[in-house]
Chain A
Amino acid sequence: MTETTKRSKPVTNYDFATDSSQLDADHVGHQFDAMEPIEEVSTNPLRGGLRLDRSPSPAVMVIFGVTGDLTARKLMPALYDLAVSYPLPEGFSIVGVSRRDWDDETFRKEMRTAVEKGSRTPVTDESWSLFSQGLFYVQGTFDAEQTYQDLRDRLEIVDQERRAHGNRLFYLATSPKYYGPIIKHLGAADIAARQDIYWDRKDSWSRIVVEKPFGRDVESARALNAEIGSVFSERQIYRIDHYLGKETVQNVLAFRFANILFEPVWNRQYVDHVQITVAESIGVEGRGGYYEGSGALRDMVQSHMLQLVSVIAMEPPALFNGNALRDEKVKVLRAVVPPTGEQVNHRTVRGRYEAGYVSGRPVPAYRDEENVSPQSRTETFCAMELNIDNWRWAGVPFYLRTGKRMPRRVTEIAIEFKQVPHLMFKSIGNLDLTPNVITMRIQPDEGIALKFAAKVPGPDTQLRPVRMDFLYGQSFGEAGPDAYERLLLDAMLGDPTLFARRDEVETAWSLMQPILDGWEQLPVPIYPYEAGTWGPSKAESIMRRDHRQWRRP
Chain B
Amino acid sequence: MASLFSTKPVLASTWQTDTLDTGAIYDELNRLWSELGGPPMGGEAPGEMVAEPNFGGGGLMRANTLNLIAVGGDMREVTLIQETIARLRDFLPSRTIILITQDGTDPSGDVIGPRYDVRVELMEQVTETDEANLRFEVITIGADRREIGNLASMVTPLLAADLSDFLWWPGGNFARNPLFDDLLPVVDRLILDTAQLGRDVDSIASIRQILAEDEDAPIIGDFTWLRLEPWRQLIAQFFDPEDVQRSLHTIEQVTIHYAETRADGSSGLAAALLMTGWLASRLDWETLDALERQKRGGLWAPLRASEGERGREIELRLVPDTSPHARFSLRRVKIVAGGAAPGTFTVERTDSDDIVTTSETPENPAVSRMVFSRRPDNDEMIGQELQRFGADPSYEEAVRFAVGLIPE
Contact = CB atoms under 8 A, between A and B. Distances in A.
A48 interface: yes
Interface in B252-299: 279, 282-283
Contacts of A121: 372
Given A90-B359, A162-B367, A201-B242, A474 B48 contact: no
Nearest to B380: A478
Given A130-B368, A163-B367, A48 B282 contact: yes
Listed residue (A48, A52, A201, A474) with the most chain B CB atoms within 10 angstroms of its CB: A474
Interface in A117-158: 121-122, 124, 126-127, 130-131
A544 interface: no
Given A48-B282, A48-B394, A52-B233, A465 B240 contact: no
Interface in A37-54: 42-52
Interface string A83-127: 111100111000000000000000000000000000001101011
A397 B89 CA distance: 40
Nearest to B46: A432
Interface string B55-92: 00000010101000000000000000000000011111
A176 interface: no
A86 B354 CA distance: 11
Contacts of B23: none
Contacts of B364: 163
Contacts of A466: 43, 48-51
B393 interface: yes
A468 B63 contact: no
A52 B387 CA distance: 16
Contact of B357 (A58, A90, A467): A90
A476 interface: yes
Interface stretch (B129-137, B173-181, B192-200): B129-137
A122 B359 contact: no
Contacts of B232: 46, 50
Contact of B245 (A43, A50, A86): A43
A49 B229 CA distance: 11
Interface in B312-334: none
B346 to A, nearest CB: 12
A434 B237 contact: no
B407 interface: no
Given A127-B354, A467-B43, A55 B240 contact: yes
A511 to B, nearest CB: 30
A165 B134 contact: no
A48 B229 CA distance: 13
Contacts of A361: none
A44 B43 contact: no
Classify the interface of chain A: helix, strand, loop or mixed: loop
Nearest to B132: A471
Nearest to A56: B240
B44 A552 contact: yes
Interface in A181-226: 201
Nearest to A92: B369
B95 to A, nearest CB: 14
A335 B228 CA distance: 50
Interface residues of B, number: 58
Contacts of B132: 445, 471, 474
B48 A467 contact: yes
Contacts of B130: 444-445
A162 B367 CA distance: 8
A57 interface: yes
A126 to B, nearest CB: 6
Contacts of A476: 90-91, 387
A473 to B, nearest CB: 5
Interface string A440-476: 0000110000010010000000001111111101111
B236 A46 contact: yes
B236 A44 contact: yes
A33 interface: no
A445 B133 CA distance: 12
B230 interface: yes
A122 B337 CA distance: 34
A46 to B, nearest CB: 4
A477 B90 contact: yes
Contact of B239 (A46, A444, A478): A46
Nearest to B232: A50
B370 interface: yes
- List 3 tightest A-B contacts by C-beta distance, closest first: A49-B394, A46-B236, A477-B89
Given A131-B369, A445-B130, 10 more contacts: A50-B236, A86-B373, A91-B367, A124-B354, A127-B354, A465-B47, A465-B49, A467-B50, A474-B92, A552-B45
Interface of A: 42-52, 55, 57-58, 83-86, 89-91, 121-122, 124, 126-127, 130-131, 161-163, 165, 201, 432, 434, 444-445, 451, 454, 464-471, 473-478, 551-552
16 contacts: A44-B236, A44-B239, A45-B248, A47-B240, A86-B371, A90-B368, A126-B370, A127-B372, A445-B130, A451-B44, A465-B49, A466-B43, A467-B49, A471-B131, A473-B131, A475-B91
